[in-house]
């Protein structure tokens, strides 16, 4: 169910919060009069709870359109990110390839098909549309569903995703699925089973994907900070207290020692069967919104209760450029006091050996 309409009073500015049209989740936060992006960021900073309150009232997915000012001043994206949690990731300190980091603002990850990031879109699903002629969203027809950086303990809270340049409409969308609604709609025996289990989440590129295991790739040794991490299959949201499914598929699960801890490992095991069942339920179109980007759109998504997936676009014909920040620091009590799993030991390069 979408959020109800309400106004968000920031003193000098009044914003409106309304459900995203034709979507089972999400809110749109915008100003009725034309406002400078920097002025809006300043007004939000003066009411620091307003942004996360709007997000929590919108099932963890918030769209701020017309934020074009960020393109010429990426620091505005960092300032908004600081309102979303205690810590904004500096990608220079973490497991991130140098060519994906904004040259001037290390909190900004640059995801585009052009150099230097050279990120290719995912393949087109096969067939490209459903029997009803619609964009495929449900796993396994649609692949690539994940929550950001789930290979880390503690995992991050939120991502802010900003569109500098969209591809063609109807292509290069980002899909979001609502883990809270999906959990609530599970039969109670599956809710109970999932609540007792943990998934094993892998860092991309560590050779532990379902595909790598099916191909019979040699299992590489990993440095301690690159190893897969367990995460509960059901997380209680630290702010709202509501349970949500928490899992990924293929590349972000560990198919050597997982995907589900304590169950048969590898593709074809009973862990795989449960993961397939849960992720295809999670990504049923009743729980999914496909965001078709416009330049200047900012989408804030809560990684603790949503998963997302990129879609194909024709990168020969169209460029696409996106910026992302990641916010962490409020993962919930089950992670209290834990050291960060992904921090390399003294003197080690984060990406060495990968």
**Binding positions for Fe ion, rule: CB under 5 A:** 148
Say how far apart CA 344 and CA 352 lie, in whole Å.
10
According to the binding rule CB under 6 A, does residue 233 interact with ligand AKG?
Answer: no
Say how far apart CA 172 and CA 39 lie, in whole Å.
30
CB of 289 to ligand AKG, least distance (A): 13
Which one of Fe ion, ligand AKG, none is in contact with 285 (Cβ closer than 5 to 8 A by kind)?
Answer: none
Nearer to ligand AKG, 142 or 324 (CB): 324
Q: Kindly state the helix (H) or strand (E) to which residue 322 belongs, with its residue range.
A: strand 321-328
Which one of Fe ion, ligand AKG, none is in contact with 290 (Cβ closer than 5 to 8 A by kind)?
Answer: none
Q: Which residue in 138, 167, 174, 231 binds ligand AKG (CB under 6 A)? A: 174
Say how far apart CA 176 and CA 2 lie, in whole Å.
13
According to the binding rule CB under 6 A, does residue 251 interact with ligand AKG?
Answer: no
Nearer to Fe ion, 148 or 198 (CB): 148
CA 272 to each of CA 6, 59, 177, 248: distance values in angstroms, whole numbers, following the listed order = 43, 28, 20, 12
Nearer to ligand AKG, 15 or 307 (CB): 307
CB of 55 to Fe ion, least distance (A): 17
Which one of ligand AKG, Fe ion, none is in contact with 234 (Cβ closer than 5 to 8 A by kind)?
Answer: none
CB of 167 to ligand AKG, least distance (A): 10
Nearer to ligand AKG, 311 or 330 (CB): 311
According to the binding rule CB under 6 A, does residue 242 interact with ligand AKG?
Answer: no
What DSSP letter does each residue of 219-284 carry, written as one string? PPP--GGGS-EEEESEEE-TTT--EEE----GGGB-TTT-SBTTS--STTSHHHHHHHHHHHHHTS
According to the binding rule CB under 6 A, does residue 148 interact with ligand AKG?
Answer: yes
According to the binding rule CB under 6 A, does residue 308 interact with ligand AKG?
Answer: yes
CB of 322 to ligand AKG, least distance (A): 6
Q: Which residue in 142, 322, 327, 328 binds ligand AKG (CB under 6 A)? A: 322
CB-side neighbour CA atoms (13 Å) of 332: 21
Q: Which has the closest alpha carbon to 243: 232, 229, 259?
A: 232
Closest CB to ligand AKG: residue number: 310
Q: Kindly state the helix (H) or strand (E) to which residue 76 belongs, with its residue range.
A: helix 75-82
Q: How many Cβ atoms from other residues are within 10 Å of residue 335's Cβ?
A: 16
Nearer to ligand AKG, 70 or 322 (CB): 322
Which one of ligand AKG, Fe ion, none is in contact with 324 (Cβ closer than 5 to 8 A by kind)?
Answer: ligand AKG
Beta bridge partners of 308: 146, 176
Beta bridge partners of 15: 8, 31
Say how far apart CA 135 and CA 301 lie, in whole Å.
21
According to the binding rule CB under 6 A, does residue 94 interact with ligand AKG?
Answer: no
Count of residues that interact with ligand AKG, criterion CB under 6 A: 8
According to the binding rule CB under 6 A, does residue 194 interact with ligand AKG?
Answer: no
CB of 46 to ligand AKG, least distance (A): 29
CB of 93 to Fe ion, least distance (A): 19
Do the Cβ atoms of 321 and 225 come closer than 8 Å?
no
Which one of Fe ion, ligand AKG, none is in contact with 310 (Cβ closer than 5 to 8 A by kind)?
Answer: ligand AKG
What DSSP letter does each residue of 129-154 carry, written as one string? S-TTSPPP-STTTS---B-TTTTSSS
Contacts to ligand AKG by CB under 6 A: 111, 148, 159, 174, 308, 310, 322, 324
């Amino acid at each position: 169910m979408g959020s109800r309409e309400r106004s968000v009073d920031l003193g000098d500015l009044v914003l409106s919060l309304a459900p995203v049209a034709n979507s089972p989740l999400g809110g749109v936060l915008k100003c009725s009069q034309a406002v400078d992006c920097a002025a809006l960021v300043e007004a939000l900073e003066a009411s620091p709870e307003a942004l996360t309150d709007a997000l929590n009232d919108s099932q963890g997915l918030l769209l701020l359109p017309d934020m074009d000012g960020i393109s010429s001043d990426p620091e505005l994206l960092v300032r908004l990110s600081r309102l979303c949690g205690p810590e904004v990731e500096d990608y220079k300190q973490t497991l991130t390839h140098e060519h994906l980091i904004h040259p001037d603002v290390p909190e900004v990850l640059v995801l585009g098909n052009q150099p230097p990031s050279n990120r290719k879109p995912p393949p087109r699903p096969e067939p490209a549309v459903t029997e009803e002629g619609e964009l495929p969203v449900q796993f396994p027809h649609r692949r690539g569903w994940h929550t950001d950086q789930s290979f880390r303990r503690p995992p991050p809270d939120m991502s802010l995703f900003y569109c500098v340049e969209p591809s063609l409409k109807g292509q290069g969308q980002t899909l979001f699925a609502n883990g809270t609604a999906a959990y609530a709609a599970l039969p109670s025996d599956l809710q109970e089973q999932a609540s007792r289990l943990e998934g094993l989440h892998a860092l991309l590129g560590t050779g532990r994907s379902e595909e790598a295991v099916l191909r019979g790739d040699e299992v590489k040794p990993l440095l301690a900070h690159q190893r897969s991490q367990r995460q509960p299959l059901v997380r209680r949201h630290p702010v709202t207290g509501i349970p949500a499914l928490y899992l990924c598929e293929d590349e972000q699960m560990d198919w050597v020692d997982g995907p589900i801890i304590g169950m048969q490992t590898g593709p074809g095991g009973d862990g795989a069967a449960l993961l397939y069942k849960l992720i295809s339920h999670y990504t049923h179109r009743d729980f999914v919104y496909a965001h078709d980007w416009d330049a200047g759109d900012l989408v804030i998504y809560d990684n603790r209760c949503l998963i997302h997936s990129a879609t194909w676009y024709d990168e020969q014909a169209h460029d696409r450029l996106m910026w992302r920040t990641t916010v962490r620091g409020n993962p919930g009590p089950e992670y209290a006091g834990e050291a960060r799993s992904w921090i390399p030991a003294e003197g080690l390069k984060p990406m060495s050996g990968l």
